[in-house]
Amino acid sequence: MSAADNPAPDLVAHGADLEELSVASDGCTACELYLHATQAVFGSGETGARIMLLGEQPGDEEDRKGAPFVGPAGRVLDEAIAEAGLDRGDIYLSNVVKHFRWKPGPKKRLHQKPSTRHIRACRPWLDAELTLVDPDVVVTLGATATQALLGNEAKVTRDHGQVFDWEDRLVVPTIHPSAVLRGPDSEERRRLRRLLVDDLVFVRERFL
Ligand code: URA
Ligand code: SF4
């Protein structure tokens, strides 16, 4: 199983739109993650959105509902988007991996980071989204998305809020909204929330 098994490039070549790609991704078997997930979670938003926000993979709630960032991290992200003065219409929201990777826990399914192999297998779906949406900037949320694009040397704590060249596009890393939720105390959570909002304000001022 490899990216070569991913049907996305063929679909794009034949003129598929985002809706058709979304439906097709649900039938993807290019890596094994589809076996244990409820459904693929494709990006949401419109062709021509000027900002792409890119997360890691769907979480438990996203897996059940079939839409990106509709769980606890999504609520933090929604608030940060609004506070930064961004409009949902300006944004296309997606993940570097489309199926939820998890392991059984005592009470609920536990998130597992996707591996480099999963990210590589799923990359044609992201490339298809980039081709169709053609955003002016990709904002990577957290280490997985940032390193998937910019390489393993990229470091969100150091590089966030800066503009990087990547394959004829521009990338601005920032923290993942779930990092805000994981902050050890309310002061740290407030600081991280501020950082996320400030980076999104920077993106709005620079790209809209
Ligand atoms: N975390 C992500 O990275 N993406 C989602 O869609 C939800 C949680
Ligand atoms: Fe296909 Fe991506 Fe799902 Fe793997 S995670 S099966 S590559 S859509």
pTM of the full structure: 0.97
Pocket test for ligand 1, best of 96, 178, 180, 182 (most atoms within 8 A of CB): 178
Nearest protein Cα to ligand 2, atom 7 = 122
Give me ligand 1 centre to Cα 17, in Å: 23
Give me ligand 2 centre to Cα 33, in Å: 6
Q: Is 176 helix (H, G, I), strand (E, B) or coil?
A: coil
Tokens standing for 148?
Answer: 């998937």
Give the pLDDT of residue 1: 52
Distance CA(131)–CA(96), nearest Å, equals: 15
Give the pLDDT of residue 14: 98
- Nearest-atom number in ligand 1 for the CA of 144 is 3
10-residue averages of pLDDT along the chain (208 residues): 81 98 98 98 96 98 98 98 95 98 96 98 98 98 98 98 97 98 98 98 97
Ligand 1: does its nearest atom lie under 6 Å from the Cβ of 58?
Answer: yes
Give me ligand 1 centre to Cα 55, in Å: 5
Ligand 1: does its nearest atom lie under 6 Å from the Cβ of 129?
Answer: no
Give the pLDDT of residue 101: 98
Q: Give me the phi and psi of 87, to 5 degrees please.
A: -105, 140
Crossing angle for the helix pair 18-25 and 116-133, to the nearest 10 degrees: 160
Ligand closest to Cα of 27 equals: 2
Give the pLDDT of residue 88: 85
Give 39's strand partners: none
Ligand 2: does its nearest atom lie under 6 Å from the Cβ of 86?
Answer: no
- The DSSP secondary-structure symbol of 7 reads -
Distance CA(134)–CA(161), nearest Å, equals: 21
Closest by alpha carbon to 51, among 134, 156, 149, 174?
134
Helix H or strand E encompassing 137: strand 137-141
